[in-house]
Structure 1
Amino acid sequence: VIPIDLQQSPNQELIVQKDGFLCAALGTKVSITLNKKLGSGLIGGEGFILQKLQGDGMAFVHAGGTVIEKQLNNETLRIDTGCVVAFEPTLDFDIQSAGGLKSMVFGGEGMFLATLRGTGKVWLQSMPIRKLIQAIAPYGKNASKEASSILGNFLE
């Protein structure tokens, strides 16, 4: 859980990944914002629908793994789309292809990256929920049931 003081953000606003908001001080307004960039719209999913928090108190958002708060100073940051937790609205946010066909197939991060440009703070996570699910799924009590067929384990 990441506590963020909205008074410290420009215009007392913060953009958060969809479903990232947990709770906030009384008077905080939570709304949906759409990233109107063409790349995000075509890809959908992460990065297209975001939450906007507005207010002057503390807000709490969730993240997984290690969380890094990074200040960008007229810089560009390209990162896995699921690793962006929140960012200040002074940053330009877009989704772009990860590069050439080789890096998309063999890079291990998928086909698209989030690109943040400008000056402002961004909060990053090392373990997005989809990666957490992939990591623990083989150890769940239903792991073997997913691999079985109509014939049961006869073919294995």
Structure 2
Amino acid sequence: MRTTIDGTILPVLRVMLEAGERLIAETGELSWKTPNVALSTTLSGAGAGGVFGAVRRSLAGGGLFMTEFTAQGGPGLVAFAAKVPGQILEHQVGGGRAMLVHRHGFLCATPGVTLDLALQRSLGAGIFGGDGFRLQRVAGQGTFWSMLGGEIVPHDLAPGEAVDVHPGLVGMFEDTVSFDITMLPGIRNKLFGGDGFFLARLTGPGRVWLQTLTMPGLAHTLAPYLRA
């Protein structure tokens, strides 16, 4: 398997599969492929065990179904293009290491990678994290690719070190990082600051990937120009 990521603002991931090699992706992500790459839509992709596993995956922001791509009779190409301005990143999981990705961040993966709902470690994080912070847990063994919005800023946190971030700008983080919600101090800040009531507090050790663009933020910026 050979991969290339081309482009800048709207990149595309191209994967050259050898004969018999497979790749799993969310449904609807395919951009183009060679004719000898076969598609198979399945409930059980990315480690989901039957209907219940597929439902858990869909609650995290994925779909009930996944699409499996297999090269038949020789090498084949499959490509996935970004749908919003941002970056496509390649990651490795294995040895018990897992990543938590925002609900639209998972793009595709090799067989052996699992995709599941990430349960919040605290009640406050689950209630106040907002729809923009529903998480997918990517684990298992292999390679996966994420699609994050805008510019991506990796941030390494030492043990006990913390950073407060708008929840929608947390693109992904290692599962060694703890996530909680903290309330902005001061009534004036809450009511008139324009930053909402809550921030995500990420505490190390581990790496976080912060994104500078979210779909709600992009929609809000474009809204004045879409009015009739």
Query: TM-score, structure 2 length as denominator?
Result: 0.57
Which deviates more from structure 2 when the two are superposed, residues 90-99 or residues 113-122?
90-99
Q: Distance in 2 between matches of 1:48 and 1:85?
A: 9
1:82 to 156, 164, 168: 168
1:120 lines up with 2:206 in the alignment: yes
1:42 to 109, 124, 127: 127
Q: Distance in 1 between matches of 2:162 and 2:129?
A: 22
Alignment of 1:71-150 (within 5 A): 71-74=156-159, 75-140=161-226, 143-144=227-228
Report Cα offsets for 1:62-99 as digits up to 9, x if no partner: 22111111111121000100000000010110112122
Q: 1:45 to 1:56 in 2, by over 3 A?
A: same
Q: Distance in 2 between matches of 1:81 and 1:44?
A: 6
Q: 1:4 to 1:123 in 2, by over 3 A?
A: same
1:54 lines up with 2:148 in the alignment: no
Q: 1:90 to 1:26 in 2, by over 3 A?
A: same
In structure 1, the gaps of 5 or more residues are 145-156
In structure 2, the gaps of 5 or more residues are 1-86
1:27 lines up with 2:100 in the alignment: no
Which deviates more from structure 2 when the two are superposed, residues 95-104 or residues 82-91?
95-104
Q: Distance in 2 between matches of 1:29 and 1:78?
A: 29
Q: Distance in 2 between matches of 1:135 and 1:64?
A: 14
Which protein is richer in helix relative to its size? 1
Deviation at 1:48, TM superposition (A): 5.9
Query: TM-score, structure 1 length as denominator?
Result: 0.81
Fraction of identical pairs, as percent: 36
What code does the residue aligned with 1:132 have? L
What code does the residue aligned with 1:12 have? R
* Greater relative contact order, per chain length (Cα 8 Å cut-off, separation 6+): 1
Indicate the SS of the match to 1:135.
helix
